[in-house]
Structure 1
Amino acid sequence: MTEPNRLLRAARERLPSPAAPGEHASRAEIADAVNAWLWETTGKRHALDAHYLAKLERGVARWPNAAYRSALRHVLGVPDDQALGFTPPRRADASPLDQSGPPALGWDPAAVVDHAQLMTERDLTTHTRRHVLTGAALLAGTALAAELQPFLFPPAPGAGRTGVTFTGDELDATEQFVGVLRSWSTKHTVISWPTVVAQLNAHASRLRAAPQDRPETLRGFRIGAELADITATMAWDTARHADAQRYFILAAKLAHAAHDDGLAAVALSSLARQCFDLGRSTEGLDVVQLAQYGTRRTATPRLRAVLATREAWAHALLGDTRAFHRAVGLAEDYFTEGTTELDARTPSTRSLDEAELAGTIGARYRDLARFDARHAGTAQKYLARALDLRAPERVRNRVFDTISLARSHLISREPDRAGELITAVLPVAAQWASGRVGAKLQDFRRESASFATVPAVRDAREAIADLTAA
């Protein structure tokens, strides 16, 4: 008698249905999601249906082909085939679907640029039920680790495509556009996410046709990585975490294809920050350490400083005081070694000045103070220094510093000072209330609940509620 595949059915029933609130995903919805993901990642049409999924759940079929297994792992958010109850057949002809499928998508330049074009094309189309379902799952655990592992290996040689080479003027113009986009986080310039996705899509189309391994094409890959990183950051800032993760990973892949592992490591460090925001500190630490190991021979001191601050962040969230102090010490030591010409071309290393270092370390001491309140005073010293050093035009950074400083005063039981800081910064913070600034204000509101009767805190909490509800 055939044994049912209870693991596969349980994995499906853990996913909510995008069409029926309160219900789990149906077999047809999972099949649609699988086919959509395979089209996005391979460019090939597949025809998985609810009938075959039913056979898998009943145990009549036990080993779908490699393409379906890969897609089911992604859609159902599991790390390996065993988690879905799949077991290889004893005979090569056990099932019509037991044939070898397409290889898993790698980090070779041709596959990366194909993936970039397909992904952006999908994101520019009207959202459908399939899009909602496939976009809902974040890679986690061993699945995320497996996705990032190719970073440690050299990119494959170009596929030898022939086409029109990028011109210098074309690359210069796109780089200038990237510079404009980079300014959106410090100035309240409204740039829509689809606008950036469309630019990346057009750029990926040019990359797809350009001759591989030429200097102009490698520069094109690098520009594509920056566009993907900006796209990811915009999604992350509005709490669209699945989109942000996809584009942070794409940024790392494009940078790797450009032979710029420093830029790839920066994208990975942003991915780690996202993990921290989502409460996945251990995963974030794994991603940071992957970036550190992959650039151990090539990283500039400033990149090492950036990665050390990310490592410290993880240790602070995990309450590992000794490891935290070691990482902070390394970050400060690397920072004093100065910058190189390469640092000026790379986000994060370019923006890591003395103010940014102080603000980052101060916020991390605040995280550590959740385990030992004595660290709150140190956090306040770093954050006050950051505010003293911040350039006036770095308005958004000053808002983050001030909110973090206010939260540290809650830990040191100085609610009046905390409330005053929040009230003072709210008029400026209002323009970013729908993004991460609003999320940090909500963190303050949650953490200040025990001081809700203090007038300064009460007023600040009410103002935050009004602002973030707008």
Structure 2
Amino acid sequence: MNAEKRPNELLTSWFVRSGWSKGELARQVNRRARQLGANHISTDTSRVRRWLDGENPREPIPRILSELFSERFGVVVSVEDLGLRISRPLPSATGVDLPWTGPQTVALLSEFSRSDLMLARRGFLGSSLALSAGPSLIEPMQRWLVPSPQAPQPEPDPAPATRARGRLSKPELDLLETTTVMFRRWDAQCGGGLRRKAVVGQLHEVTDLLQEPQPEAARRTLFKVAAELAELAGWMSYDVGLQPTAQKYFVLALHAAKEAGDRPLGSYILSSMSRQMIHLGRPDDALELIHLAQYGSRDCAGPRTQSMLYAMEARAYANMGQPGKCQRAVRLAEDTFADADEWDEPDPDWIRFFSEAELHGENSHSFRDLAYVAGRSPAYASLAEPLMRRAVELFEKDGEHQRSYALNLIGMATVHLLRREPEESTVYAKEAMGIAAKVRSERVNTRIRKTVDTAVRDFGDLAEVADLSERLAVELPETPVAV
């Protein structure tokens, strides 16, 4: 059989273009495996060589390689694109084209959150998921707006003996909502790595409550809480680099929001999915998701939510290289945000993060992204600089949104690199590293590493840049220190 094994030309092509050495790829696979909890994986250069020679690695390595190359090239690189094979998981554990019915949404939320709690630490959950993109993602999400027939509620399964059945009181429902607010604030302060499992556990508890008989108003509230928790679990998963897991939670959150009858919340969930697609180099998909969110919430979302959606629309257009449409969306975001304080209804807590600082941060990142797409254009970098500076000033006074502060400091560092001002860039990068040490966010760490790599590549002979690189190796090592 070994005589029939042929070199994997597809994997070799991606590997050569990545610029990685075999040792670098092995280290990245090991690090990602540890993040998934697959501590049994130990890859070295000889094993990478065998993959290139045609050996098919066992799961979850094909999925890990897909994620690593997708992030490296900014496009979705599937397992098949790498010339690898995977065992197909059970239909219930994968995919985004799910039935839009209340009972099945509850069952899927319960199954997925339970699997996450029980199996993710050993790497099994992450290895059973794949990212969806293009029509396979967009078309199922469009059914969010299709009215669902009102089917009679089936008799729920008997409640566990350890829990007394009964209807939830108003104070109990209020407490569930308050707990969700608390989790959201923890995430903003500490990053997705510290509280993710607690959020997933709370989500699983809420799905248990949804399987008990409740009045319609309580049922809708529980679905709303489930949607917010699932979105937050997805956001935290995205923040720590678990992209397929994040997408699955986002999709389930959208289903729950539909059952709650909460279209503004659904639009917010779609914006999170859009942000993930931008991160993965799929701005066309991001734009489709944002337009779906805007259409679905056009007559019910408040100005703050609408402003956020315009800002995300601008990010998508920027990454598509469409400056005119990007600048129009930026103006709409600013104009709409100006009406937020005049809105006569209280904003839901999930949009409270979208402050003046966040608005400036998003719009400045749009201009920064335009600068990248336009070949490191100094003109767009100059448009980004004052907005980013204002965002940094405002976030510095905000003790709650520390991750956003770090991300905008990194953004400021990248803007200065675009303007060929490396000394100023290192100042902001060092500040970001100080905050990164306090938050558990792989997204923050990755952006710092990429920014420092760019500084070293373009200005490596400067003492400030060399010092920054040395500090990075000490404060944010590639291999996490065990605690």
Equivalent-residue separation in structure 1 for 2:334 and 2:99 (angstroms): 36
Of 245-254 and 335-344, more deviation after overlay is shown by: 335-344
1:273–1:310 contact (8 Å) kept in structure 2: yes
CA drift of 1:129 comes to 7.5
Residue among 25, 40, 43 paired with 2:85 = 25
TM-score by length of 2: 0.75
CA 1:398–1:199 in 2, change beyond 3 Å: closer, same or farther?
same
Q: What is the CA–CA distance in structure 2 between the aligned matches of 1:342 and 1:252, rounded to whole Å?
A: 23
3-state SS, counterpart of residue 353 of structure 2: coil
Is the Cα–Cα contact under 8 Å of residues 161 and 210 in structure 1 kept in the other structure? no
| Residue in structure 2 matched with residue 450 of structure 1 by the alignment | 458
Aligned to 1:64: none
Give 1:147 shift: 2.2
Partner residue in 1 for 2:391:
386
Provide the rounded CA distance (Å) in 2 between the counterparts of 1:288 and 1:178.
24
1:217 CA displacement: 1.0
Paired residue type of 1:458: A
Please name the residue that 2:198 is paired with.
195
Q: Paired residue for 1:57? A: none
In structure 2, the residue matched to 1:207 is: 210
Change (3 A) 1:418 1:362: same
Structure 1 unaligned spans of 5+: 1-9, 41-70, 78-103
Secondary structure at the counterpart of residue 451 of structure 2: helix
2:209 aligned partner, one-letter code:
R
Is 1:248 aligned to residue 253 of structure 2?
no
Change (3 A) 1:468 1:338: same
Give the match for residue 107 of structure 2.
Answer: 114
1:130 Cα deviation from its structure 2 partner: 5.8
Could you tell me which residue of structure 2 aligns to residue 153 of structure 1?
146
In 2, are the aligned partners of 1:262 and 1:303 still within 8 Å (CA)? yes
**Identity over aligned residues, as a percent?**
28
Contact 1:110/1:158 (8 A) holds in 2: no
Give the CA deviation at 1:161: 4.0
Q: Is the 8 A contact 2:311 2:362 kept in 1?
A: yes
Contact 2:310 2:329 in 1 (8 A): yes
Cα–Cα, structure 1 residues 270 and 16, in superposed 2: closer, same or farther, change >3 Å?
farther
1:291 paired to 2:293? yes
Give 1:138's aligned amino acid.
L
Query: What residue in structure 1 maps to residue 414 of structure 2?
Result: 407
**Hey, what's the Cα distance between the residues in 1 that align with 2:56 and 2:321?**
32
Change (3 A) 1:166 1:138: same
Amino acid at match of 2:138: A
Q: Partners in 2 of 1:196 and 1:318 — Cα distance?
A: 34
Indicate how the Cα distance of structure 1 residues 185 and 121 shifts in structure 2: closer, same or farther if over 3 A, else same: closer
SS at match of 1:186: helix
Q: TM-score, normalised by structure 1?
A: 0.77
Cα deviation, 1:8-29, whole Å, max 9, x if unaligned, reads xx9xx99963178799436xx3
Is the Cα contact below 8 Å between 1:162 and 1:211 reproduced in 2?
no
Contact 1:161 1:209 in 2 (8 A): no
Match of 2:231 in 1: 229
Give the Å deviation of 1:322: 0.4
Q: Structure 2 vs 1, CA of residues 225 and 418 (structure 1 numbering), >3 Å: closer, same or farther?
A: same
Once the two structures are superposed, the pairs formed by residues 260-271 of structure 1 within 5 Å of their partners are: 260-271=262-273
Taking the aligned partners of 1:130 and 1:392, their CA distance within structure 2 comes to 38
Q: 1:342 to 1:245 in 2, by over 3 A?
A: farther
SS in 2 for 1:126: helix
Hey, what's the Cα distance between the residues in 2 that align with 1:129 and 1:386?
38
One-letter amino acid of the structure 2 residue matched with residue 420 of structure 1: V
In the alignment, is residue 398 of structure 1 matched against residue 405 of structure 2? yes
Query: Structure 2: which 5+ runs fail to align?
Result: 1-9, 11-53, 66-82, 157-165
**Greater relative contact order (Cα 8 A, min sep 6): structure 1 or 2?**
2
- Considering only aligned residues, what root-mean-square deviation do their CA atoms show, in Å? 2.7
Q: 1:241 to 1:162 in 2, by over 3 A?
A: same
For residues 376-398 of structure 1, the C-alpha deviation after alignment (integer angstroms, 9 at most, x for no partner) is 12211001111222333133322
